[in-house]
Amino acid sequence: MAILTAGVTGIDFDDLIVSDLLLGDVTVATATRFTLQDGAWQDDFTGQFTYANDAITGGTLTSWKQSLSGQMVFDVTGFSLPVTQFVTWATTNNNEAAKSAILAGADAITGSAAADRMRGYAGNDTIEGGGGLDYLRGDDGDDSMSGGAEFDDLHGNIGNDTVAGGLGSDWVVGGKDNDLLLGDDGDDIVYGNLGADTGSGGAGNDIVRGGQDNDSLSGGAGADWISGDRGADTLSGGAGADLFNVFGDAGADRVLDFSRAEGDRVKVEPGSTYTTAQVGADVVVSLSGGAQMTLVGVQLTSLTGDWIFTG
């Protein structure tokens, strides 16, 4: 398990280029520490090292700290890599292999108050963006991600992920498998994509979409736009005037808290005709493409005005 912490100015994983280390001069070379200096850039490695003819020849890396003008850019500890393999990646400019090996386990990755661009690679990672406009990707594994303050772009990718936008108007995407997605504060876009996802917009005027499979979606407080998309989805708008979207082959969705008094409406996407009927205690909207939307516990006679429309 690696622990990576970004410096105060933020980090962009795309800028971690191991081949740049070849430009540095060796300033420290001991059995446990190896330091390279390239102008204002300094890279400090710790571990166990061996040397021959003034060159490092073997050993194991266990930490890497990079600084610029004396200020930390990032510090990563808790990994173990053969020195020879790391040198090979540097000389062949294989940056992704080096980063994915360092972060191959269940890692803890923490951003800064500035804008960060980070990813977890393999393993069940915990990624926290902190303040700033962050771009976070979980990649493989069951990851836990939090954007923090301001606008963040978060994507769990593969695995059963927990993704929370935090403060700000965020993009929160699950990716593959069964994810828990939380928009939190702000006007968020929450999208489950593949898998049986649970998504909530939280506070704010959110867009919440399920994607594939059978999802459970909630708008939370605010005027939300909610679409189960395909699959048999369970929807709730929460407080506020919410819009429940349905299309021809969307599947069979159930809306648990449709309230005309709060201003809730049903939007049918163009290309489908629809009928409405009272079925027991519920109102059922049936589309020509086979989809149905059931408004649980609602009487058709109570639905007045433009509660349903095509657009």
The confidence score (pLDDT) of residue 235 equals 99
Mean pLDDT score of the chain: 97
What's the pLDDT score for residue 234? 99
* Beta carbons of 27 and 134 less than 8 angstroms apart: no
Domain ranges of the chain: 3-103
Determine the average pLDDT of the residues in 241-256.
97
Measure the CA angle with vertex 167, ends 163 and 173; round to 5°.
30
What is the distance in angstroms between the CA of the first residue and the CA of the last residue of the chain?
50
**Per-residue pLDDT at 143:** 98
**Bridge partner list, 189:** 171, 207
Q: Is the pLDDT of residue 155 over 90?
A: yes
Structure confidence at residue 55 (pLDDT) = 87
State the amino acid at position 174 in one-letter form. G
Q: At what angle do helices 83-91 and 95-102 cross, to 10 degrees?
A: 150
Flag whether pLDDT at 257 surpasses 90.
Answer: yes
Which helix (DSSP H) or strand (DSSP E) does residue 88 occupy?
helix 83-91
Average pLDDT of 177-204?
Answer: 97
Within 8 A by CB and 6+ apart from 55, the residues are none
Q: In the structure, what pLDDT confidence band is assigned to residue 250 with cuts at 50, 70 and 90?
A: very high
Neighbours of 15 (CB within 10 A): 12
What pLDDT score does 268 carry? 98
Decide if pLDDT at 89 tops 90: yes
CA distances from 30 to 33, 39, 88, 156, 163 (A): 5, 21, 21, 41, 42
Region 1-8: what's the mean pLDDT? Answer: 98
- Distance CA(41)–CA(224), nearest Å, equals 48
Residue 29: pLDDT band by 50, 70, 90 thresholds? very high
* DSSP H/E element including 302: none
* Three-state helix/strand/coil letters over 36-57: EEECCEEEEEEEEEEEECCEEE
CA angle 166, 170, 175 (to 5 degrees): 100
Instruction: List Cβ neighbours of 131 (8 Å cut-off, separation of 6 or more).
Output: 112, 113, 114, 148, 149, 150
227 has a pLDDT exceeding 90 = yes
Q: Are 243 and 267 in contact (CB under 8 A)?
A: yes
Secondary structure letter of residue 102 according to DSSP? H
Q: Give the full edge-to-edge strand order of the sheet including 308-310.
A: 117-119, 134-137, 152-155, 171-175, 189-193, 207-209, 225-227, 243-246, 265-268, 308-310
Distance CA 143, CA 27 (A): 38
Mean pLDDT for the stretch of residues 254-272: 97
Averaged pLDDT for residues 247-269 = 97
Q: What's the confidence (pLDDT) of residue 54?
A: 83
**Residue 262 pLDDT grade (very low, low, confident, very high; cuts 50, 70, 90):** very high
pLDDT in tens, 271-309: 999 999 999 999 999 999 999 999 999 999 999 999 999
